Amino acid sequence: MKNFKKGTLFVVSAPSGGGKGTILKRVFNDDDKVFYSVSSTTRAPRDEDTPGVTYNFITNEQFEKMIADNAFLEYAGYCDNYYGTPSAPVFENLNAGKDVVLEIETQGAFNVKKVFPEAALIFLMPPSLKELRRRLEKRGTETKESIEKRMDQAKREIPLAEKYDYIVINDGLEKAVADFSAVCEAARLRCHADELVKEVFENA
């Protein structure tokens, strides 16, 4: 893997149940070189949450002050709660040469691309809706209602993959990890083509 002076911003979206977590863990296994952005939210923490890891939990007032201060790369409201990606840690890490990974939904992804066109938008695609449903059911942690809700959201999000820079099909872990890694490398080179060209010339 080639390293550049500045990191690359990867924005990854996938229908939930797509196995995104497992794949990302495998692709970005070198923690020192990658920063996982943590979203801020005003929703209440749940049992499965670890503050500062799954989310930064802040108050409505704090969130709205950050909006006013233009401190979010993107933010949105869902079900009476705010969710947003704080800009500062993203840019600090990119400037320090670390790659940054945002796991966000499609609308957030497009908002990031608008303000930061160098971001590489990657959509992790299930092989079929049938297989996505099978994986959600296999988890055994979801209610029937929650599975339907996730399937509905998947149906809304999947067609938007057409607007992503890269699509990776998640049909088998090893192949998906290899494809995802190759796509990240291609995105890194594309994103830092100017630096790469300089390097090629330096060694003349």
What is the rounded distance in angstroms from the CA atom of residue 40 to the CA atom of residue 42? 7
Q: Which two tokens stand for residue 21?
A: 């977590």
Looking up tokens 């290899």 gives: 178
Stretch that binds a copy of itself, among 22-30, 56-64, 101-109, 119-127 (CB under 8 A): 119-127
In the set 137, 148, 152, 185, which binds a copy of itself (CB under 8 A)? 185
Report DSSP state, residue 50: -
174 lies in the binding site for a copy of itself (CB under 8 A):
no
What is the rounded distance in angstroms from the CA atom of residue 111 to the CA atom of residue 171? 28
Rounded to the nearest whole angstrom, what is the least distance from the CB of residue 203 to a copy of itself in the complex?
3
| Size (the chain), residues | 204
196 lies in the binding site for a copy of itself (CB under 8 A):
yes
What is the rounded distance in angstroms from the CA atom of residue 143 to the CA atom of residue 30? 35
Stretch that binds a copy of itself, among 4-12, 76-84, 98-106, 121-129 (CB under 8 A): 121-129
Instruction: Identify the CA nearest to 186 among candidates 91, 109, 127, 122.
Output: 122
134 lies in the binding site for a copy of itself (CB under 8 A):
no
x/- string (CB under 8 A) for a copy of itself, residues 140-169?
---------------x--xx-xx-xxxxxx
96 lies in the binding site for a copy of itself (CB under 8 A):
no
Dmax (CA) of the chain: 63
- Radius of gyration, CA atoms only, the chain: 18
**Which is closer to a copy of itself, CB of 52 or CB of 159?**
159
Stretch that binds a copy of itself, among 17-25, 46-54, 85-93, 174-182 (CB under 8 A): 174-182
204 lies in the binding site for a copy of itself (CB under 8 A):
yes
19: left (phi over 0), alpha (psi -120 to 50) or beta: left
Q: Are 7 and 94 in contact (CB under 8 A)?
A: yes
Where does this chain bind a copy of itself (CB under 8 A)? 2, 125-131, 155, 158-159, 161-162, 164-169, 178-179, 182-183, 185-186, 189-190, 193-194, 196-197, 199-204
